[in-house]
Amino acid sequence: MDKSPLQDFAAAIASGKVRIVDLTFTLSPDFPVIVLPPEVGQAMPMRIQRISRYDDAGPGWYWNNITLCEHTGTHFDAPIHWHTGKDLPNNAVDTLPPQDMIAPACVIDCSVEAGKDADFLLTVPIVEAWEAKHGRIPERHWVLLRTDWSKKNFRDYANLKEDGAHTPGPNAEVMRWLVHERGIIGFGTETIGTDWGQAFHLDPPLPAHHYLHGAGRYGLQCLCNLDQLPPTGAMIVSAPLKIENGSGSPLRVLALVSH
Ligand code: MN
């Protein structure tokens, strides 16, 4: 009897031929949230409130109430998150197509550059140099920017100064190019947002959000363990919570890597 691709897949996972890499930070009240200019609304850090833990409030069970921003911890950005994507069809986490929740990834390693310069900017020539080595970025692939930023302690992770955050990210041209010349399904980072820390000063401001969501594409941020992924060939599983009309959601992001 011929095996179905899914039977082969199950066997590959069972045998370790396909390895699962967890790209997710632990959700905790300490995990930094993005800080916006003070005149606009702010994200709330996660809250955990104990209901019971094998005590009078619940003698045999442990559980918590949690409060989350849609953009807390390792999380997914849907097109409705940005004004450029607000009128697109199926643009919220409860309506986006489930087949978009599994897609391959290209990983661009800029960890050395970002280690030297917190304001490192990803540009088109850098991605073209990556393509010269690894091939053209195919359509409907994630592009994940490896910076090793996820290895920092929480204070250095947000890296807030008087003039805002200083964290690596993409410039405007490369985001327009990745979305419109390469047709990527989304862009993922190890930092607190898909955009550069100082991206309010770019044109358009916050270009990753602007171009991705305007074209119905997605964002992933606060990823970790990107150093365990090959430049090409990993499959990303990223299924956000089905929040009614949700703009994004914390989620578990898994990469499937073939040995
Ligand atoms: Mn977000």
Distance 259 CA to ligand 1 centre (A): 32
Q: pTM of this prediction?
A: 0.97
Select from 205, 236, 200 the least CA-distant residue to 220.
236
Going by the DSSP 8-state scheme, the letter that residue 139 receives in this structure is: T
Distance 8 CA to ligand 1 centre (A): 35
pLDDT of residue 166: 97
pLDDT of residue 259: 83
Distance 77 CA to ligand 1 centre (A): 5
Distance 248 CA to ligand 1 centre (A): 6
pLDDT of residue 3: 82
Q: What span, in angstroms and rounded, lies between the C-alpha atoms of 169 and 26?
A: 22
Q: Can you point out the beta strands (E) in 102-176?
A: 102-109, 121-122, 142-146, 160-161, 164-165, 169-170
Distance 137 CA to ligand 1 centre (A): 24
pLDDT by residue for the chain (259 residues), tens only, comes to 678 999 999 999 999 999 999 999 999 999 999 988 889 999 999 999 999 999 999 999 999 999 999 999 999 999 999 999 999 999 999 999 999 999 999 999 999 999 999 999 999 999 999 999 999 999 999 999 999 999 999 989 999 999 999 999 999 999 999 999 999 999 999 999 999 999 999 999 999 999 999 999 999 999 999 999 999 999 999 999 999 999 999 999 999 999 8
Distance 219 CA to ligand 1 centre (A): 7
Q: Is 77 left (phi over 0), alpha (psi -120 to 50) or beta?
A: beta
pLDDT of residue 155: 85
Show which residues are catalytic: 81
pLDDT of residue 1: 62
Question: Token pair of 216, please?
Answer: 């119905």
